[in-house]
Chain A
Amino acid sequence: MGWLPIFKKEMRLYFGSPVAYAVATFFLFIAAFFFAPSFIQYAEFSMRSAMQPQMGQTLNATENILRPLTYNMAVVLLFFIPMLTMRLFAEEKRSGTMELLLTYPLRDGEVLAGKFLAALTLYALILALTLLYPITVAWFTKIEWGAVLTGYLGLLLIGGAFLAVGLFVSSTTENQIVAGFGTFGALLSLWLLGWFADSAQGALRTVVQQTAIIEHMDGFAKGVIDTKDLVYYLSVIAFALFLTLRSLDSKRWRG
């Protein structure tokens, strides 16, 4: 249970400072920016199709509004996750509180778990707020909740993977800004990998394609849970957290 005090402390620091509120506002605003135009467009389109019934055959609220929204929110996470994680270790190292933290009777794994779960919880809370958009759509028309919630599961997983990478980067530096930009750079590289897949050949192409972090979002956005996507995100999380543990351990040796 050693993770619990760390978890509580991090939540207190998130909500005790403007961080949680600023990040939540920013994320909801950007998500609304993607949601509102497609929602309005869809409404106009469905009105016109009431006069020309053959047009209505392609109308599907889940497919036309919510699937692009899921994908767009995943893109926004690239900018937004580094802000949640950059502080977590860098700040403790810079202010020296890390020295105290590591001399309390807590395992490194418990410290890490507390911090990761706190960031994940805050992220999940903010994500839950965006459920407002599918609910709005559901008020006017029928949507496929199964597909929508699968999309949210995907967002939770990709967010978790981003958070784990962010924690690792934060554990390697004392500077929050470096941690933030480093995380952004790392995530962007993982993202852009998909673009290079087209120019690669044979086996390399498959490897590059499967490593790109966004490729695995497609299935979830469509409402399909594929084991390979699930395994991909969980492995990224596990690997990044493992690297963070090693990074914490090395601190003890270097002093």
Chain B
Amino acid sequence: MIQADHLTKSYGPVTAIHDVSFNVDKGRIVGFLGPNGAGKSTTMKILACFMAASGGRATVAGFDVFSQSLEVRRRIGYLPENAPLYGDLPVAAYLDFVAEAKGVSRSLRRSKVADVMDRCSIADMQHRLIGKLSKGYRQRVGLAQALLGDPEVLILDEPTIGLDPRQITEIRALIKSLGGQHTVILSTHILPEVSMVCDSIIIINRGRIVAQGTQSELVQQVFPAARVEVEIGGPPAEVAQALKALPGVTSVEATVSGDGAARIVVESPRGRDVRGELTRLVAARGWELLELHKVGLSLEEVFMRVVAGEEHAPQIVESVQGTA
């Protein structure tokens, strides 16, 4: 549904994005993740036909964003960063203007506007001037205008910014419900949001895509090893030695906890569960198993590794890009 091929954009001497390529299938929700200034907004502006790329090409719903921009614009709903709106117009009048601009026929306009106001829960504010609304309401008016005209593709630049926790939950649920019929691409730097809402993730840093895939794919790419953290009551050096010798264990990392017990992180190849062998070993030696848990590899860790690790360990990034 959305295809970007080697997109490049430079503002004068500054390169905002470099060689960005990705693919989004119909009905999927894709999260664009990256630190500020990574090039998320630039990519979205190009896809939304606001800006022309300096190099490469992109298609949305099979139409080229540059040469068939009008066709693309008929099929997208776009919410720019910070939801720029006309402060001097009341909500309902503004949405009516958007519906008309998007070519919604006169007879359907009123019901379509009422429908999106309902879905974004702004109906009770429809006669207020947009300029007088709080940030959360403005953001939802922005989302409502993107939804008008039932676009096949939604491009949402930080849709939940400035909302309170309850509104965030509502908007996330709304976006999640859009998946299936609509193809959604959204940017954010709130990591849990991506895990909750998106089917797959594209991580972008300093203008380049550094990793892409579903969350579990990303975790596997970035951390090939599974990790278990244990706390065992027993002589620390001996415990570490014994664990290291256990079949399937590739490495151990030992620290001594405050009360003299051994605190150890055990790594094994992904898919090889060593917890059974580990507990039997502890029991056989007569030590005490004080704690045992799998270290969950969150998106946060993946993100930190991929983004922060770029300066320290470029080889990791290369291998990730290769398999993505």
Residues of chain A whose beta carbon lies under 8 Å from any beta carbon of chain B: 2, 4-6, 8-9, 12-13, 16-17, 95-97, 99-107, 252-255
Contact = CB atoms under 8 A, between A and B. Distances in A.
22 contacts: A5-B97, A5-B100, A8-B97, A9-B89, A12-B93, A12-B97, A17-B88, A95-B86, A95-B87, A96-B80, A97-B85, A99-B45, A99-B50, A100-B80, A103-B78, A104-B73, A105-B102, A252-B50, A253-B51, A255-B11, A255-B42, A255-B51
Nearest to B46: A255
B80 A99 contact: yes
A105 B97 contact: no
Given A252-B51, A255-B9, A100 B73 contact: no
Given A12-B93, A16-B89, A100 B100 contact: no
Given A16-B88, A103-B48, A255-B45, A9 B97 contact: yes
Contacts, number: 72
Nearest to A97: B84
B89 A103 contact: no
Given A12-B89, A105-B73, A252-B51, A100 B82 contact: no
Contact of A100 (B11, B70, B84): B84
Interface string B73-112: 1101010101011111100010001101111000000000
B225 interface: no
B12 to A, nearest CB: 9
A132 B77 CA distance: 48
A101 B94 CA distance: 12
Interface in B110-137: none
Q: With a 10 A CB-CB cut-off, give which of B52, B73, B84, B97 has the most chain A CB atoms.
A: B84
B49 interface: yes
Contacts of A13: 86, 88-89
A255 B266 CA distance: 50
Contacts of A17: 88
A103 B50 contact: yes
Nearest to B42: A255
A254 B11 CA distance: 7
Contact-size category for B: 20 to 34
A9 B49 CA distance: 22
B82 A96 contact: yes
Nearest to B145: A100
B227 to A, nearest CB: 44
Given A12-B97, A96-B80, A104-B101, 9 more contacts: A5-B97, A8-B97, A9-B86, A13-B89, A16-B89, A95-B87, A100-B84, A102-B50, A107-B70
A208 B274 CA distance: 92
Given A104-B101, A106-B101, A99 B89 contact: no
A105 B74 contact: yes
A1 to B, nearest CB: 9
B268 to A, nearest CB: 49
A99 B93 CA distance: 19
B186 to A, nearest CB: 16
Contact of B78 (A95, A100, A253, A254): A100
Nearest to B98: A104
A211 B182 CA distance: 56
Q: With a 10 A CB-CB cut-off, give which of B80, B86, B87 has the most chain A CB atoms.
A: B86
Contact of B100 (A8, A16, A97, A101): A8
Interface in B7-24: 9, 11
A255 B73 CA distance: 17
A106 B73 CA distance: 8
Nearest to A16: B88
A107 B51 CA distance: 14
A6 B101 contact: yes
A60 B277 CA distance: 115
Contacts of B51: 252-253, 255
Nearest to A114: B101
B93 A103 contact: no
Interface in B38-68: 42, 45, 48-52
A2 B70 CA distance: 12
A9 B90 CA distance: 11
